[in-house]
Amino acid sequence: MSAALAALALNTAWFKYTLLIAASPLWWPFVRELWKEFNDILAEEGGLLGSLPDEEELAEIRRNRAVRDAALVRELREEARQPGRGRRGPTVGAFGTSQLRRPGGSGGGFGPPR
């Protein structure tokens, strides 16, 4: 019985690898971004596979990181800071239904059927 299971595992191995290669457009960008992120996080120590940077490279890494981190600060626009200057009119909820109250019914969504 174990020989049959080994033969079955051997026969499905090509299918597994083919599926892995065929699905690579889905998972490869994710892996590439993870690689870049880990490499950036560990840049001061030389990255994932690199050697330790010298003093000039280390200073440039820190400068670039400071500039990039400064871009992540959230600042509100001037019109958003003023009260009463928000969005006008009804908002559209899930499934494109309006959030206004309908006469004789719920405001949309998952109410009882009419």
Q: Are 53 and 63 in contact (CB under 8 A)?
A: no
φ/ψ (deg, to 5) at 102: -95, 145
Interatomic CA distance for residues 46 and 25, integer angstroms = 29
Contacts of 22 (CB under 8 A, 6+ apart): none
d(CA 59, CA 53): 9
Amino acid making up residue 70 = A
Summarize pLDDT for 31-45 with one digit per residue, the tens.
999 999 999 888 888
- The pLDDT assigned to 96 comes to 58
- Intervals of the chain under pLDDT 50: none
Predicted confidence at residue 6, as pLDDT, reads: 72
- Per the CB < 8 A criterion, the answer to whether 65 and 57 are in contact is no
pLDDT for the residue 29: 95
Mean pLDDT of the chain: 76
Task: Tell me what pLDDT residue 4 has.
Answer: 72
Query: How does 54-83 read in b/e, with b if 16+ C-beta sit within 10 Å?
Result: eeeeeeeeeeeeeeeeeeeeeeeeeeeeee
